[in-house]
Structure 1
Amino acid sequence: MTAGSPRTWALAAASGFSGVALFQVALALGAPLGAAAWGGAERVLSPEHRVGSGVAALILCLSALIVCGRAGLLKRTPGWMRLFRAGTWVLAAQMALNTLANLASASPWERYLMSVLTLTLCVLCLGVTRSPVPPTGGGGR
């Protein structure tokens, strides 16, 4: 995991999380993309799954912020840095579990597309977690 800088890994992960968040927003708004989510059983999600997709979109946006914070792209204090460091490890583990769940799904979209996406996000998060911790107090470049 030495290729690229932690910021590059974080920006790639944040882009992935943001893209999936947009997909979840589309599902929450009733887009007929349900074959690629929630097991693929519904073309248009039920009201309960639509709420779940809305919540997932919020969590995915927070995930993008966490990896950016861990890579030093956001202004932070030592307390925030601890949160960003732990959060990125949690995200890597969650993406690994999501990959397994997607591989076990009945939906071909989840098995062949979402599993690759979540595995990629897992590797990107691991790349960010394994990078040196940037100094606190600064932000941006």
Structure 2
Amino acid sequence: MTTSALPDDSDPIARVQRELLTVGRRGTARVRREDEALSVVDRSLLTYIQDNPGCRAVDIATHFQLNRSTVSRQLGALLDHGYVSADEEPAGGPRGIALRLTDAGSAAFHQSTRTVLDSVARRLEGWSQGDLEAFARMLERYNAAPDE
């Protein structure tokens, strides 16, 4: 694929990109349609904090390759809703502000996760266990690749 011309439908890279875009847009639409308390962005942050208790905003920014100010703004909303707590480390500590899910954040995260998993499961009905395993491995491989 060259950068000077748009790829056609036979280009597998373009097809993958188009399908990933569709996945993202549908996820956003589902949240709006189901009046979900958590946005896709909220869920991504809460997932990271759930998996990495005590992480800092800079850790999240690095993981998602975002500007720290963007992450701080997004975290501000979660702090305001009481979904995340920020605990100051002792003065001079190397980690800064440690983030953790609150009980309310954990409850919202788990409810949202159940809703999303149900939606994904409906879309994958009829897939064989082998297809599901292969799809999961391919997505993991894709997401593990470094961005340049």
Q: Same fold by TM (over 0.5)?
A: no
TM-score by length of 1: 0.29
Larger Rg over CA atoms: 2
Give the helix-richer structure, 1 or 2: 1
TM-score by length of 2: 0.28
Give the strand-richer structure, 1 or 2: 2
